[in-house]
């Protein structure tokens, strides 16, 4: 039986437990991927997105859960800053997340799953208006 002293100085009652969230499965981290969360700096992600969009012609914006509206806002801001010269390809989905509930009294771990919404937005610079990046766009964005 675990006691309060064994829990590294954390005041937890014997009947309570800890929730440990596992990280979601991530897509590969590529140069033109931007993963959005609620703690990330929006201005720096917008600046990075504009830089990558001008270099490669394609940016992939990913958001999960509460960060979905923020990811949409980032994609729309990229579109506005490019004066409508981009197209958006939007995919939504559901991701299964796992949480481990660890009981203090006996140390057992109960895994629990829940669903969370996800969004993947592909922002493409129009090739007709920028023919010099046509080859880069097909190389970096065709696999996604």
The answer to the question of residue 88 being in a domain is: yes
pTM: 0.70
> For residue 110, what pLDDT is reported?
73
Express each pLDDT in 74-110 by its tens digit.
Answer: 999 999 998 878 999 999 999 888 877 766 667 676 7
Whether residue 58 lies inside any domain: the answer is: yes
Q: Is residue 138 part of a domain?
A: no
pLDDT value for 20: 65
Residue ranges of alpha helices (H) inside 10-64 are: 42-56
Domain encompassing residue 104: 4-9+17-22+31-127
- Residue 92, domain member (yes or no): yes
Separation between Cα atoms, residue 127 and residue 47, nearest integer Å: 21
Look at residue 140 and tell me if it is in a domain.
Answer: no
Could you tell me if residue 143 is inside a domain?
no
Of all helices (H) and strands (E), which one includes residue 84? Answer: none
Distance CA 8, CA 31 (A): 40
Model pLDDT for residues 28-82, shown as the tens digit of each residue: 688 899 999 999 899 999 999 999 998 989 999 999 999 999 999 999 999 999 8
**70 domain residue, yes or no:** yes
Mean pLDDT, range 15-35, rounded to an integer: 73
Q: Does some domain include residue 136?
A: no
Rounded Cα–Cα distance for residues 3 and 29 (Å): 42
How many angstroms from the chain centroid is the CA of residue 111? 23
Number of domains making up the chain: 1
Over 50: is that where the pLDDT of 138 sits? no
Closest CA to 51 of 80, 27, 31, 70: 31
The CATH number for 40's domain is 3.30.110.20
């Amino acid at each position: 039986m675990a006691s309060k002293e064994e829990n590294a100085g954390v005041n937890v009652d014997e009947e309570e437990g800890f929730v440990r969230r596992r990280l979601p499965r991530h897509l590969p981290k590529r140069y033109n991927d931007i993963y959005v969360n609620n703690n990330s700096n929006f201005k720096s992600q917008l600046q990075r997105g504009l830089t990558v969009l001008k270099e490669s012609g394609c940016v992939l914006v990913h958001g999960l859960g509460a960060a979905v509206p923020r990811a949409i806002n980032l994609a729309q801001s990229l579109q506005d800053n490019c004066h409508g010269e981009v197209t958006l390809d939007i995919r939504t989905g559901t991701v299964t997340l796992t949480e481990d509930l660890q009981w203090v009294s006996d140390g057992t771990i109960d895994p629990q799953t829940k669903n969370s919404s996800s969004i993947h937005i592909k922002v493409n610079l129009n090739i007709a208006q920028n023919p010099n990046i046509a080859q880069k766009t097909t190389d970096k964005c065709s696999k996604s």
